[in-house]
Structure 1
Amino acid sequence: MSTSYRVSKLIKSDKPLFVSLMSRAFAKDPFFMHLFGDSVLDRKARRRVSAFVSFMFDKSFLLYEEVWGCFENESLLGTYIVEKPYASKLQNMKGLLLIGRLIPLLFQISGQTLSLLNSYMKVTRSVAPPLTHHYLIMIAVKPENQGKGIGKVLLKHLLNSVNMDTKSHGVALDTENKENIKLYQKFGFTLSNETQIDNVPVYCMFYKK
């Protein structure tokens, strides 16, 4: 593994790098394709994915979330968004500003898609263990850099942060790719629930400290 990898928190100017990486990495994700269409073949689907990922990045700066990236020199190779388990009153007030961020998104995606996204959030959060925990919202590696240990670097960084947080009991995540289950199990995650969102299988996992 290259010793030049570094993990650091993303800043607002990193948004174009984040959007490009996430959009490409999730192009064939089953739930993304169900929501937005095939972004590899369809230009409109590509715009919808980009708009959604852009919203997720902006949201992280308004809520109690962090975006971290794995860099080699100045190149972003992988990234993740994590929600922390507790929020201050200031963060809750900032959440009201999300309405302004939602408006551009609503011009790109349908009401039905937004409803499915809300259903996904409600279902996956409801099956998570009733413990104070982090939630891994998204994690991805640039397609041409997959298989080089970058995902492991990011997961180790996340779990180290979780283990150091005395108020957190672990971290939850969800994946629609069944082949990811074994990977996460190697890091101590267990499969806590299997469900479906509009006929798309979703596997809910939890890492307990």
Structure 2
Amino acid sequence: MKTSYRLSKLTKSDKPAFVSLMSRAFSRDPFFLHVFGDSELDHTARKSVTAFLSFLFDKSFLFHEEVWGIFDEDSLLGTYVVEKPQTNKHSNIKGGLLLIGRLIPLVFQLSGKTLILLNSYMRITRSAAPPWNHHYLIMIGVKPEAQGKGVGKTLMQHLFQTIEADHESQGIALDTEKKENVGLYQKLGFTLQEQTKIDDIPVYCMVYQKNR
């Protein structure tokens, strides 16, 4: 990677860049295609993806989550959203109340089928999560033009450094719907915890445990 690249935590002003990047990075993702439709060809699907990613970004500031990204000057090249293991009940209650206000418009922006599938995904993947304290990698994406340049690897290295420095965290859990990603994560030290399905879409639940 270029030494001029900058890795930093995203702020609320980075929301448009985050939504644009993740929309493109996940446009051919099997689960996104199944839930939202083809956002590259269908205007309604594109609006649904935008609404969902906007909600996801807003949610990260209401709960115990962080969004990190790699920039080339002012251009966002890659980003990830991670949920940390430490919980603060008071802040979670406050975040939950604020989230209700953000959920109401989302209900009108997404179809009932889409909402059911998203809820099923959360329920199934979280049930496969390890019982020990861990970071949960919600999403990681790289701008198509920046793929193959070490952006994703650098983001993962940053996450590994984060959990090594966090005494409350014993590792990372993540989920992917792409079979080819399983081997890539295994090379990074992840193991396949569980393989399941949502409709006909395979879901691979993986974990990385430190100090093994």
State the TM-score, normalizing by the size of structure 2. 0.96
Structure 1 match to 2:66? 66
2:12 is matched with: 12
Instruction: Please show how residues 64-103 of structure 1 align to structure 2 within 5 Å.
Output: 64-93=64-93, 94-103=95-104
Measure the CA separation in 1 of the matches of 2:194 and 2:18: 29
In the alignment, the residues of structure 2 paired with residue 160 and residue 33 of structure 1 have an alpha-carbon distance, to the nearest angstrom, of: 33
The one-letter code of the counterpart of 2:30 is P
Unaligned 5+ residue runs, structure 2? none
**Structure 1 residue 23: Cα displacement:** 0.6
Q: Residue 150 of structure 1: CA displacement?
A: 0.2
| Equivalent-residue separation in structure 2 for 1:137 and 1:91 (angstroms) | 20
Q: Does 1:123 align with 2:129?
A: no
**Identity value in percent:** 68
Q: Give the whole-Å Cα distance in 1 for the aligned partners of 2:200 and 2:27.
A: 19
Q: Is the aligned partner of 1:150 residue 2:158?
A: no
CA shift for structure 1 position 90: 3.0
Provide the rounded CA distance (Å) in 2 between the counterparts of 1:33 and 1:61.
27
Shift of 1:89: 2.4
CA distance in 1, matches of 2:106, 2:89: 26
List 4+ stretches of structure 1 deviating above 6 A.
none
Kindly indicate whether residue 43 of structure 2 is the aligned counterpart of residue 53 of structure 1. Answer: no
Root-mean-square deviation (CA, aligned residues, Å) is: 0.9
2:180 maps to: 179
Mapping of residues 166-205 of structure 1, within 5 Å: 166-205=167-206
TM value normalised by structure 1:
0.98
Q: Distance in 1 between matches of 2:11 and 2:96?
A: 19
Q: How many residues align?
A: 209
Cα deviations by residue, 1:115-167 (Å, 9 ceiling, x for unpaired) = 11111111111112211111000000001111110000100001110111101
Greater alpha carbon shift after TM alignment, 138-147 vs 82-91: 82-91
Q: Given residue 123 of structure 1, which amino acid in structure 2 is its aligned partner?
A: I
